[in-house]
Structure 1
Amino acid sequence: MGDQSRLCSVWLGSETGILKGVSVTHKRAFNFCNTRELSRDQEIRVLCWGDTTETELLVGSVDGTVKTFSTEKGIFTEVRRCGDPEEGCFTGLEVRNGSVLTCVDSGKLRVWKEDSPEPVSELNAGKNVCKMRQNPVQPNRVGTGGKENGLKIWDLERPDTPVFTAKNLRDDWLDLRRPHWVRDLAFIQNSDKVVTCTGHHQVHIFDPASPQRRPVLEAEFGEHPLTALSLPASGNSVVVGNTQGQVALLDLRKGLVRGRLKGFSGGVRALQCHASQPLVASCGLDRFLWIHSLEDRRVQHKVYLKSRLNCVLLGSQDLQGGGEEGAEGEVKEEAEEDDEVWDHMEQVEEETTKRKSSSSGGGQKKKKKD
């Protein structure tokens, strides 16, 4: 298994609880699982790298456990409980100075040390948190947001109160209140600004350095809830996706759509831009891993992975190869976890009917086909 896992440059978490690795250079996909019996509570919700060398992968499941996966050995090496399913599912998983940060949708944001069974610190980010993200430049700062729970930025060294709390949006032209619904967020490089996407098809930029706590930029894309975003390495743009499988590249300076990425046939659940290449990986309900070029917006790789996918994580190495991949017979998935289910299903034969016209034209009879 270690030989297989070392080939993988893209990792995905599925609803079935299987960790999936994809090697786009070798056109192969692999399944990794730490149990023979899968259940719904093992669904993978969040992924992150456990170290800077990318030899460990942290996997957060619905049952509240965080599993450590060795990309060198190809096996799960550790399991620890970092949440209670009654508190909600994971909405964020990060690593900070050897500590693990977790957040669940009830708002419990906790810091875990390696050898401690209990969190060393905890804060309440409010109810219905949809996403927690860490500032890559300032690892002690994280952002949270959710449904009727606007953007908050926290300093984990002073967790009593947030260092920034977004103000309610201005009322619309009918003087009606505009609700909050942050679905994803990211810290913009080389600035203090944060970009969010919402369940009301909006993209907002907040600037904690300015006296204004409302968005300094507002834009809209489509008519459906936005579910995920990611920032390309080039800056000045953001990739967003929605529940209808519409993905677009937006200009962060003017809020205009630069172009759309095509091919999707289901809602997008996760996006990640490559750290150095003009590529974006995405996944969701259509069970495909998509990799698009951000330069010409064409599909570079397309891999069918059988299960609905919740999260995607890219390695820092270059994603080699070009052209659309994943057509029938091109990408092989090693573990066929769905086949056993279909093999045990009872085959149903449908009785068909055939109409026959009488030669006299006086009527029609129905005859069963044996």
Structure 2
Amino acid sequence: MGESSRLCSVWLGSETGILKGVSLARKQAFNFCNTSHLSRDQEVRALCWGDAHESELLVGCVDGTVKTFSTEKGVFTETRSCGDPADGCFAGLAALDGGALVTCTERGTLRVWREDSGAHVTELSAGPDAARMRQSPVHRNKVATGGKETGLKVWDLQRPASPVFTAKNLRDDWLDLRRPHWVRDMAFLPDSDKVVTCTGYHQVHVFDPASPQRRPVMEVEFGEYPLTALALPAGGGTVVVGNTQGQVAVLDLRGGKAAVRGVLKGLSGGVRALQCHATRPAVASCGLDRFLRIHSLEGRELQHKVYLKSRLNCILLATRDLEATGEEGEGEAGVKEEDEEEDEVWESMERVEEKTKRKTTTEEGEELQKKRKKVKD
């Protein structure tokens, strides 16, 4: 198990509660889970690295537990209770220096947990119906939150009394009607304090905390369907967004006005997670169609496509080369997912052949002529 986990360069969380690792170099996928306790309560909703060396994965489950997975040993090493299922599923998960853990639930309860304590040391409300919490990759003590009718907020966890930035609602439309807002995902733009968000109303917004207006300094719409995820390429200046119809687009944020640079093809089903590689021009996507896909951001061609049997909620890329080679290992045996079981049931059923053959129009006409002849006779 340890050898196989070290091969993986892509990690995904599934609805069935299985942590999935994919080695693109070996073209192999591995399942990691406790087969004796596999249920919908273990559905994986959030993933993040537990340390800078990427030797530990933190896995947030629907039942409010956070599991620690060792990528070196290939096993789960710890389970912590970090939430009440009544607060909703995890909307975000992050690790701080010193082993502290940050969680945010769908009800907007944001907590900081210390490594040496089973209780949280900080709790605040990010607002109801929270959809996502993201950590700043540069200032790791800062996180952003947002949700349905809950605008973007940026928090400094060292000063958690109030957010350091709270976005204003959008300006009224041309009919002076209030425009609703629904933040679905966000990311901190590199080398700045700006934050980019995507919404359930197919909008992309860029916020600048230094701006006194606290409204978006840039706004663009893509498509006609709700946007569900976004990711920032390593080069900067662009953002990748995905929606509920499986459409993924690259938007250019330079020049003061966003424009669609290109659309990635080959997807189907709603996109639930996107992540760009830290150094390579590539983006990984997953969602309802159960495929992991890797697209090039230069030529926009599909580079890898892996079917993983379960609907996928979240994705995490290792910082090393996606196609780095390593020793070949064995995947976990004995893991049978619901889809496999369902397929086996259908395959084991006896085929019923239709014994009666429908008569053609010619045959029906000949029979009708015979009956008429008998009546005349």
**Residue number in structure 2 paired with 1:325:** none
Deviation at 1:344, TM superposition (A): 4.7
Query: In structure 2, the residue corresponding to 1:167 is in which secondary structure?
Result: coil
1:221-262 deviations in Å (ceiling 9; x for gaps): 000000000000100000000000000000112210000000
Does the C-alpha gap of structure 1 residues 348 and 151 become closer, same or farther in structure 2, counting only changes over 3 Å?
farther
Q: Judge conservation of contact 1:185–1:196 (CA < 8 Å) in 2.
A: yes
In the superposition, the TM-score normalised over structure 1's length comes to: 0.92
TM-score norm. by structure 2 comes to: 0.90
Report the equivalent of 1:184: 185
Counterpart contact for 2:11–2:316, Cα < 8 Å: yes
2:308 to 281, 293, 305: 305
Instruction: Tell me the alpha carbon deviations over residues 318-366 of structure 1, each in whole angstroms, 9 at most, x when there is no partner.
Output: 1228xxxxxxxxxx996553434443567264463421225724189xx
Superposition map of 1:39-188 within 5 A = 39-97=39-97, 98-188=99-189
Give CA-to-partner distance per residue, 1:307-328, whole Å, 9 cap, x none: 000000000011228xxxxxxx
- Counterpart position of 1:294: 297
State the one-letter code of the partner of 2:188: F
For the 8 Å contact 2:14–2:311, the answer to whether it is kept is yes
- Verify: 1:285 aligned to 2:300, yes or no: no
Distance 1:355 1:54, change over 3 A: same
Secondary structure of residue in 1 paired with 2:163: coil
2:221 alignment counterpart: 220
Aligned counterparts of 1:57 and 1:363: Cα–Cα separation in 2: 78
Corresponding residue SS for 2:119 = coil
Counting only pairs closer than 5 Å after superposition, residues 18-33 of structure 1 correspond to structure 2 as 18-33=18-33
The alignment status of 1:360 with 2:366, answered yes or no, reads: yes
* 29-38 vs 39-48, which moves further: 29-38
CA contact (8 A) 1:28 1:333 kept: no
Given the alignment of the two structures, is residue 270 of structure 1 paired with residue 273 of structure 2, yes or no? yes
Q: State the secondary structure of the residue aligned to 2:41.
A: helix
Q: Secondary structure at the match of 1:362?
A: helix
Equivalence for 1:347: 349
Matched-pair contact (CA < 8 Å) for 1:134–1:141: yes
The 8 Å contact of residues 131 and 185 in structure 2, kept in 1 or not, is answered as yes
Instruction: Give the superposed CA RMSD.
Output: 1.8
Cα displacement string for residues 76-113 of structure 1 (whole angstroms, at most 9, x for unaligned residues)? 00001001111100000000112110000111100111
CA distance in 1, matches of 2:70, 2:86: 29
Partner of 1:324: none
Taking structure 1 as reference, are residues 354 and 9 closer, same or farther at Cα in structure 2, changes over 3 Å only? Answer: same
Q: Which residue of structure 1 aligns with residue 320 of structure 2? A: 317
What do residues 38-73 of structure 1 show as CA deviations (whole Å, max 9, x unaligned)?
Answer: 211111000000101111000000000000000111
2:345 and 2:304 mapped to 1: Cα distance?
33
What is the distance in 1 between the residues matched to 2:244 and 2:364?
Answer: 53
**Matched-pair contact (CA < 8 Å) for 2:32–2:332:** no
Higher RCO (C-alpha under 8 Å, 6+ residues apart): 2
Residue 367 of structure 1 corresponds to none
Rg larger for = 2
> C-alpha displacement at 1:210, in angstroms?
1.4
1:188 partner amino acid? L
Residues 188 and 196 in structure 2, CA contact (< 8 A), matched pair in contact too: yes
Cα distance change on mapping 1:143 and 1:66 into 2, 3 Å = same
Q: How many percent of aligned residue pairs carry the same amino acid?
A: 70
Comparing 99-108 and 339-348, the one that deviates more: 339-348
Instruction: Name the SS for the 2:36 alignment partner.
Output: coil
Determine helix, strand or coil for the equivalent of 1:360.
Answer: helix
Amino acid at match of 1:273: C
5+ residue gaps, structure 2: 325-330, 371-377
Structure 1 residue 136: deviation in Å? Answer: 1.2
